[in-house]
Structure 1
Amino acid sequence: MTHQSTAKDGISAGYYRLFAAGIINGIGDRFSQVAMLSLIFQLTGSGMAVGLSLGVKLIPYLALAPLGGFLGGKLPRKTVMMATDIARIPFALSFLWVTGEDRLWLLYVGSFMLAAGEAIYAPVRKSSIPLLARRDALLRTNGMEQMLTGCVLILGALTGGFVSHWFGPQTAFVLNAVSFLAAALILSGISFPHTPPEGLGDEDEGLHGTDMAAKAGAGERSSSPKSLPALIAGSVCLQIVLGYELLVSLVSGLDNVLISVYAIRVFNAGDIGVGVFYASLGAGLTLSFWTGRLVKRNLLAAALGGLLLEGLLHIGISAAGSFAAVCGLYVLASLASGIVSASLDTLLMRETPARWQPLLFGLMTAAGSMVLGLSMLLAGYLLTRMEPRLMGLAGGVCFAAIAVVLGAYAWMKDRRGRKVSVLSRTP
């Protein structure tokens, strides 16, 4: 594989364009989301309506994320991403016509269509990363992806809160449409390398400069079964990553809904409070890029330890008595979450042959998003039956329990002689 203008750090110039487009696209989306949630709460005052608005965005992922993975393996990835960006512009502008509770259906339809585009876009973008960075740079690149999310939350959510508060939600909706166009223009400058043919050793590509252990691991996977189910069945590491995706998504919906409810209902901080909480999450994810570089060996242990810590911090959030304390705990919780995500994404990319990555990422996105959407709907319902702090406590306990269960699974497989196949970080 020939990487486009590969730099000394193993990351191509094309990835930096992908990174920049992701920031612009993400900031626009956060502008719109903060404004949308605030508008819904103002019009209805209902936690159920907030949960419905978040949940409906995830429904398209069930069918369209696998389609995105399929398209990513068959069509030029740049073309797919640019097309989905441009197609979402009119739906982003449709939010301008939501002027009362009787027109909320426009918001739900628009959210559904925006999510449909993202469902196709997301797996294509993620499967592009290994094509734009060498294997030994994947952990750093995935750390940058967490920093990207952090920057989006800080610049998008915090600024979006102020924009929505001072200029109205309509301004945020227009800026979201503009961001799609700007991101498409940036993506147009990427030159993706050709994907290796099916029969060639795609796991050997990009190994230049890595150590012999990494090359040996690639050689073992090149002789792995030729079907995706067989690949998953033969890798304990992949099984744990997939288990994490499903189980954590089942709980994350509670936290996603609680962020707005904590800010507006518990602390009476309004739009700006929602933005500050999201900015706190962004600060933690940004910090995870640097703290995550301290993880040099056993990425799986780092991920599960981080998940356990994240659960404990969410328990602390549910009991915190001040707005400032919750902000600080959100910073720490998202820092742990960033390390978890970067570690597991790196393991997933290392363990999965390139030819299977688009489809696997699409299927994971579909399954995780479906579960997350159901979780958000459940959260909206539970908020009509229980206090937000009690729901937050339950979510934190569940995060910690998932870490323990997955750790126990890995330990039992290791005791039975099933190699987990976790590669250390290469220098």
Structure 2
Amino acid sequence: MFHLLKGHQYKYLFQAGIVNGIGDRFSQVAVLALVLNLTGSGLMVGLVMGARIIPYIILPPLGGRLADRYDRRTLMILTDSIRFPFALLFLFVENQEGLWVVYTAVIVLACGEAFYQPIRKSTISSLVEKESLLKVNALEQVMIGVVLILGSVTGGIVAFFISPKVSFIINSLTFLVAALWIKKLPELKSNKKQMEKTKDESDWYRNLKPIIWFVLFVQFLLPITDGIFNVLITYYGGNTFGKEDLGIGLLYGSLGIGLVISFYISARFNKRKLLKASLFFIVVEGVMQILASQSSSIVSMCFLFIMISAAGGVTAACLDSLVMEKTDPSHLGKVFGVIEAVSNIQVGIFMVAGGILIDSFEARLLGLYGGELNIALAVLFMLILVGSKVFCKRIS
């Protein structure tokens, strides 16, 4: 798996992603615990989580646009450097009067993440050969899995047994470490021709290939079920089997394991069949969600969560690879900016919707409906794909 990193410049981007991700998980666990301890209010905790979504309305498209015009390495280093002092602000919050500091820091850090992600994703295709894109995007899912396992579990241990303040310090230092890794990358400037093209084309979206429009359509609808599923994780782990924090931790760990496994599945696909593979695994994910909703034990639930995450990881790797392969390099940042903005906002909206629905429906029933919706979306995508091919044949 990690042989792809040896002697390859992408390894610096990967290592920076691991460090940043683990630091973010450390901080997230500690921030939520801090707010809960100060206020005792679930609403205040929810507001903190909701505040993280707000920057995604504007900043990903801006980051993507700048990524197409300026040196991506410099943009990423600047973003990490700016986030460093704000990550330390949580250290100075001692009572409820300091909650405004918490919200300010949370929003600024979320702004940095929203701005950073499309730049990072558009950088991958600049560093990686086309024939290796699928494997590298599969490795990106492994990175998320490692962060999920190490960051959440270790972050909880540090915050509980040592001090939340240690978590905040570690998170701030990860921004500096990540910036040092990114500094080892070569300059990632657009060439003059590409910069002129980017500058002149305000209607860049008209030049996107039909397959990219289709992938965007898929990317915009999948977060509906992802948002609901994120809410169900807490209920399945904490309430359904009565395992409380342990159950939640086990399920998140299972998701991380599934993302690592997804690398080995993705690596076996022919890159000409990425779209078909992604649609197939959307169906697999839906089926696994249905089975999970009927699971009789936490052990079987963990196994099914591994399968759900593995299927989702394959889908994500395939779709990201398609975008990187089929998009003009001068528009890649903008495309990822739009994807990051819409998908994160969608997840946020449907997490709220899932929280509302779970008050009216039992968690297992909501999980069943969510799995069925996933399958229905996959069928819709397949029908649109087949219909478009038939239409093209008729007019040709």
Residue 84 (structure 1) shift: 1.1
Candidates 340, 362, 377, aligned match of 1:365? 340
| Match runs of 1:62-141 below 5 Å | 62-97=57-92, 104-141=99-136
Candidates 229, 250, 259, aligned match of 2:205? 229
Query: Match for 2:106: what amino acid?
Result: S
Candidates 229, 250, 254, aligned match of 1:280? 254
Corresponding residue for 2:371?
A: 396
Residue 327 (structure 1) shift: 1.6
Give the SS at the match of 2:54.
Answer: coil
Candidates 236, 241, 244, aligned match of 1:262? 236
Say yes or no: does 1:313 pair with 2:288.
yes
Query: Match for 1:302: what amino acid?
Result: A
Residue 10 (structure 1) shift: 10
Structure 1 residues 263 and 38: alpha-carbon distance in aligned structure 2, compared to 1, 3 A threshold: farther
Say yes or no: does 1:415 pair with 2:366.
no
Say yes or no: does 1:377 pair with 2:362.
no
Give the SS at the match of 2:53.
Answer: coil
| Match runs of 1:185-204 below 5 Å | 185-198=180-193
Is the contact between residue 165 and residue 272 of structure 1 (CA under 8 Å) also seen in structure 2? no
Structure 1 residues 22 and 167: alpha-carbon distance in aligned structure 2, compared to 1, 3 A threshold: same
Candidates 23, 30, 44, aligned match of 1:28? 23
Greater shift, 322-331 or 338-347, is seen at: 322-331
Residue 299 (structure 1) shift: 0.8
Structure 1 residues 277 and 64: alpha-carbon distance in aligned structure 2, compared to 1, 3 A threshold: same
Corresponding residue for 1:405?
A: 380
Structure 1 residues 248 and 37: alpha-carbon distance in aligned structure 2, compared to 1, 3 A threshold: farther
Give me the identity figure in percent: 38
Query: Match for 1:228: what amino acid?
Result: W
Candidates 257, 264, 281, aligned match of 1:290? 264
Corresponding residue for 1:212?
A: none
Give the SS at the match of 1:313.
Answer: helix
Q: Distance in 2 between matches of 1:179 and 1:250?
A: 32
Query: Match for 1:246: what amino acid?
Result: F
Q: Distance in 2 between matches of 1:269 and 1:110?
A: 32
Residue 418 (structure 1) shift: 6.3
Q: Distance in 2 between matches of 1:36 and 1:120?
A: 21
Give the SS at the match of 1:295.
Answer: coil
Corresponding residue for 1:148?
A: 143
Instruction: Provide Cα deviations, 1:173-194, integer angstroms capped at 9, x if missing partner.
Output: 2221121111111111111354
Candidates 247, 259, 265, aligned match of 2:221? 247
Corresponding residue for 2:173?
A: 178
Give the SS at the match of 1:416.
Answer: helix
Q: Distance in 1 between matches of 2:34 and 2:314?
A: 33
Query: Match for 1:245: what amino acid?
Result: Q
Query: Match for 1:344: what amino acid?
Result: L
Query: Match for 2:370: what amino acid?
Result: G
Instruction: Provide Cα deviations, 1:149-201, integer angstroms capped at 9, x if missing partner.
Output: 1111121122223223322433322221121111111111111354344369x
Query: Match for 2:363: what amino acid?
Result: P
Structure 1 residues 71 and 353: alpha-carbon distance in aligned structure 2, compared to 1, 3 A threshold: same
Is the contact between residue 55 and residue 374 of structure 1 (CA under 8 Å) also seen in structure 2? no
Q: Distance in 1 between matches of 2:34 and 2:297?
A: 25
Corresponding residue for 1:221?
A: none
Structure 1 residues 241 and 37: alpha-carbon distance in aligned structure 2, compared to 1, 3 A threshold: farther
Q: Distance in 2 between matches of 1:280 and 1:405?
A: 29
Q: Distance in 2 between matches of 1:309 and 1:243?
A: 19
Aligned length: 387
Is the contact between residue 15 and residue 181 of structure 2 (CA under 8 Å) also seen in structure 1? yes
Query: Match for 1:82: what amino acid?
Result: I
Q: Distance in 1 between matches of 2:172 and 2:298?
A: 32
Corresponding residue for 1:213?
A: none
Q: Distance in 1 between matches of 2:17 and 2:290?
A: 31
Residue 81 (structure 1) shift: 0.7
Residue 290 (structure 1) shift: 1.1
Residue 258 (structure 1) shift: 2.7
Query: Match for 1:294: what amino acid?
Result: R
Greater shift, 350-359 or 74-83, is seen at: 74-83
Structure 1 residues 277 and 398: alpha-carbon distance in aligned structure 2, compared to 1, 3 A threshold: same
Give the SS at the match of 2:206.
Answer: helix
Structure 1 residues 306 and 415: alpha-carbon distance in aligned structure 2, compared to 1, 3 A threshold: same
Structure 1 residues 10 and 26: alpha-carbon distance in aligned structure 2, compared to 1, 3 A threshold: closer
Q: Distance in 2 between matches of 1:231 and 1:92?
A: 40
**Unaligned stretches of 5+ residues in structure 1:** 1-7, 203-224, 420-427
Q: Distance in 2 between matches of 1:251 and 1:50?
A: 23
Residue 11 (structure 1) shift: 8.7
Q: Distance in 1 between matches of 2:191 and 2:393?
A: 30
Residue 140 (structure 1) shift: 1.2
Give the SS at the match of 1:13.
Answer: coil
CA RMSD, 1 decimal = 2.8
Is the contact between residue 194 and residue 330 of structure 2 (CA under 8 Å) also seen in structure 1? no
Say yes or no: does 1:55 pair with 2:55.
no
Is the contact between residue 69 and residue 189 of structure 2 (CA under 8 Å) also seen in structure 1? no
Query: Match for 1:289: what amino acid?
Result: F
Q: Distance in 1 between matches of 2:274 and 2:266?
A: 10
Is the contact between residue 289 and residue 368 of structure 2 (CA under 8 Å) also seen in structure 1? yes
TM-score by length of 2: 0.88
Structure 1 residues 266 and 48: alpha-carbon distance in aligned structure 2, compared to 1, 3 A threshold: farther
